[in-house]
Structure 1
């Protein structure tokens, strides 16, 4: 067995006693430490101040009488103020760094029963950080007579070894994770793993969080839940300040974000604190941060790093200590490459980046989210709406199929539930209501900008990228009209119906043929095997 070395402070009160036989009937922590048959102390490093040298020698003599095998090693350590945390920690750290520890040859116990509370806390922290390479040792008096030795126990800082504590930690973490998911029993493994990571980061870090994902994926709601979780954990006390950066344009962006002084510009009739100052001690959520101009980005970076910034028209900087959560549906790395987003700000935001998947990538989560949206409708309208079984099965069969694209993600789902609930005054959504809603969704998606691209099977990706949005929409409509027509002439008559009425002679087929040729397309290309 390796020899055991104990390290601890002399207890100037608890270890003191009159030099008579009565001292052996009372518990003295440092002496009692060496009186246990089941705990052999081969060496005791006894830390004490110069003014307690006589008591230390007295204690060493008593230890020699009850435990001759224990060698007492005196360690003088004087403090100007033994209640000054910085001084005590600094001197103990110097001691730990200088002491010739040899964990391979010796076992170390750090006795935290004696000394001031500040000293005990410092010993705990230094042991936890492994500056003192040992385990914590706690002693206490025993009940009843003859308790001079007291009792002892080892505190293992690996809390996972304590089943009850580990269980409570796991339950608390699971509760926090459920909170971030708004209590929704999500089933997508990748999403659940990401939320687990966000929960750990939210409670352990004050660094910025970057939430990426398509519109409607839930970035704003998740940011609010992160804020509420940090409030529950008492990590922030200020407000949550939300701003959609896409609404901040021109000169007003600087004023809205950083505030201004009275008279800074025309119309500045009074001082304005600005959103960053309003978020002091709280959380600032900058949604669509990729929409900010480069000047605003530079000032945001300074505010994140230094907690200081200059309001418009001011000659003195102001402070604001906030945590930033940023959201975007843009690829910020691509924006950096294009020169529209600062690389230093992106580097600062990119420590904790989480990409939220769209609803189409989480089809197994549609069912629990459907129930969540019904609950939200009940809270909002005071009217509980439910599905009958056949209608629910019909809706979920469509919603989880490849036919349902969900371009607006959870916003689409929320709107769909609201419509069905509104059209079900009896309180039950039936098959007819679901059938009508499915048809409505198909029409909305086919007519929207996010509809399946009719050009994808006609043009190469390079050709599509070269199209202006106007030309792309127009050409897609032309292709759709062609495919609904029986001939080139019929398609031409449909497309040019208004303009052909103003001409005496027309050749709509030729006009359409020339239009398609602009994009290297022919009637045969468009119609394919139709």
Structure 2
């Protein structure tokens, strides 16, 4: 078979004039001097401004290898470093070239040309637009005169299959990592996590993660951070902020920091949480609870990576990856004037909604095992369920009786209670039945004994409130927990009085009511 080399004339490497040119290594000429590399034809591509050099190179090749036919092809590049332009020009050349793979063996010389041109030659060979191997020439050792060396590179597709398999395994490991190693079965959820893994690795743009309380937004954000740290895409810290806990003037200071003397009590300067997240990942959970002033400053900090601390006349900078979490309908908040439309547009580049546990009942079994492992890791006590108890719990968990209103928080609490009471480290059918009844009462709003106290437990000290306030607050809490957003809960609670208002703002009324008890939507 005839051997054909296709390559670009190198403006610098192939240049040579006078007799001294034979003392210089010129890869195009040198390739034709190797006794063990017989080149029948050299298809030499050159740019118009190199026509004289191209003609001289043809003569020199004829001197060292008379049997080699050199064919010149003028090909123009406005910018040899423009990937799109170079690829299009080379693609067009090879598309018109009449390859005869049954009669000729082709070698693509990637020694000369700009790095972009070399990359394009590689891509066209790898994609089989050129049915041949790669050819790479190397100069002789330093201060030596000679023709150097060469090597051919066969793009063995079987090796690429192995590389693809490695990449697929790495991606699978990344997806499993984001799921904390839980072998989930819900197809939609698995596809969602796979997409999050791809985006998290490939993009630095903000991620907006929505979903009901307890769906795992915070945990997912931390796993994304740890995954990016493993890939060396982040070297800063993970900073988590629950925006529902930021109130009043302190919210601005907590996020952006303040200068010394900025306000009464500011006896020292403060960096703020955004600056603390420099180089790392910032999770702004319940971002919909931020005030409009904080939203405006946050927008600038995301876009320009710069912001002014409170009372400061000098900007600070912070380059962080942002993940925003919310269980609110931010589009509705934009319509109600509670959330800035430009901020939503900026953080809404990638939006992922995590489903609640009730929407993934087939995943309760693997999550049950995960919670038992977590309990063992935290307490050092290994607790198991016998077969009957496990089947009884999973039957109840998958039934319509199981509301899972707090999602994984409900599941975690249930496993913690059962594991703590498990005598001899084994959860029995009796413990499962007891826990199932407790969950039924919890979800029905009747916990027996002191239903109001149970509803308010962990939120406020009911003993410091009048019974009237206890009853009102308990009802508000129950409505909030059954609602998708603050606005939905407000409309349900103020359904009568809102009709008499020209511009009802149910969410604001409810927020102010909760603030009387130092509570926010995220606390519920």
What TM-score results when the alignment is normalised by the length of structure 1?
0.71
The answer (yes or no) to whether the contact 2:62–2:68 under 8 Å persists in 1 is no
Q: 1:266 aligns with which of 251, 264, 267?
A: 264
Go from structure 1 to structure 2 and tell me whether the alpha carbon gap of 1:112 and 1:239 turns closer, same or farther (over 3 Å shift). Answer: farther
RMSD, aligned α-carbons: 4.5
Any idea what the Cα deviations from partners look like across 1:198-229, whole Å, max 9, x if unmatched?
01000000000000000000000000000001
Q: Does 2:205 correspond to 1:207?
A: yes
Q: Count residues with an aligned counterpart.
A: 438
What TM-score results when the alignment is normalised by the length of structure 2?
0.72
SS of 2:134's partner is strand
> How far off its partner does 1:99 sit?
7.9
Counterpart-to-counterpart distance in 2, 1:150 and 1:120? 18
SS of 2:205's partner is coil
Counterpart-to-counterpart distance in 1, 2:494 and 2:440? 26
> How far off its partner does 1:153 sit?
3.8
Go from structure 1 to structure 2 and tell me whether the alpha carbon gap of 1:29 and 1:204 turns closer, same or farther (over 3 Å shift). Answer: farther
**1:419 alignment counterpart:** 417
Go from structure 1 to structure 2 and tell me whether the alpha carbon gap of 1:36 and 1:166 turns closer, same or farther (over 3 Å shift). Answer: farther
Pairing 1:457-472 to 2, within 5 Å after superposition: 465=491, 467-468=493-494
**2:135 alignment counterpart:** 139
**2:111 alignment counterpart:** 114
Any idea what the Cα deviations from partners look like across 1:151-186, whole Å, max 9, x if unmatched?
534549xx8992101111111110000000000000
The answer (yes or no) to whether the contact 2:137–2:149 under 8 Å persists in 1 is yes
> How far off its partner does 1:42 sit?
5.9
> How far off its partner does 1:446 sit?
1.3
**1:124 alignment counterpart:** 119
Go from structure 1 to structure 2 and tell me whether the alpha carbon gap of 1:440 and 1:95 turns closer, same or farther (over 3 Å shift). Answer: closer
Counterpart-to-counterpart distance in 2, 1:310 and 1:107? 64
Q: Which runs of 5+ in 1 are unaligned?
A: 78-87, 457-461, 472-530
> How far off its partner does 1:60 sit?
3.3
**2:44 alignment counterpart:** 44
Q: Which runs of 5+ in 2 are unaligned?
A: 100-105, 139-146, 446-454, 456-474, 498-524
**1:163 alignment counterpart:** 161
> How far off its partner does 1:465 sit?
4.3
The answer (yes or no) to whether the contact 1:110–1:137 under 8 Å persists in 2 is yes
> How far off its partner does 1:349 sit?
1.5
The answer (yes or no) to whether the contact 2:7–2:110 under 8 Å persists in 1 is no
**1:521 alignment counterpart:** none
SS of 2:8's partner is strand
Go from structure 1 to structure 2 and tell me whether the alpha carbon gap of 1:60 and 1:46 turns closer, same or farther (over 3 Å shift). Answer: farther
Any idea what the Cα deviations from partners look like across 1:312-359, whole Å, max 9, x if unmatched?
111122211111000000011111111111111111111110000000
**1:316 alignment counterpart:** 314
Counterpart-to-counterpart distance in 2, 1:33 and 1:345? 67
Bigger shift: residues 419-428 or 48-57: 48-57
Bigger shift: residues 298-307 or 189-198: 298-307
